[in-house]
Amino acid sequence: MSTESDSKIALRVLMMPKDTNHEGTIFGGVILSHIDQAAYIEARRHGAYRWVTAAINQVNFIAPVFTGDIVSYRTKTVDVGRTSVTVEVEVEAERREDGSCASVTSAQLVLVAIDENGAPTVFKDEGADA
């Protein structure tokens, strides 16, 4: 897991009623979509390439997200390859009722830089601090 000092907030989203399932909590698929977007934002820090998600490692939902929660997606790069980066995403919900924070889930994603034909391309890492 990341710590605040080595991860960055890539995305913050206010959860709306349209995102809820029949149980009144936010769809897991909505959270997964945001995880994918946050990972792309982190990968983009390594260069302006066409990045595609090649893999999402295990995702365990450990707490629900509710309408009105503000969900933060913190990211950090954990590995850089020749054509890919591995990104860790941690998800935290700031509760509407009292402002407390709850850890929701985490995942590691592998994103691959591709060329105009969709083939993996070797990229020059421009650095996560760029």
| pLDDT 10s digits, 15-46 | 999 999 999 899 999 999 999 999 999 999 99
| Whole-number pLDDT of residue 130 | 42
pLDDT value, residue 127? 63
56-94 residue pLDDT tens: 998 999 999 999 999 999 999 999 999 999 999 999 999
Statement: residue 5 has pLDDT above 70: no
Give me the DSSP letters along 58-89: -----S--BTT-EEEEEEEEEEE-SSEEEEEE
**Domain topology for 8-114:** Thiol Ester Dehydrase; Chain A (3.10.129)
pTM (2 decimals)?
Answer: 0.90
Domain ranges of the chain: 8-114
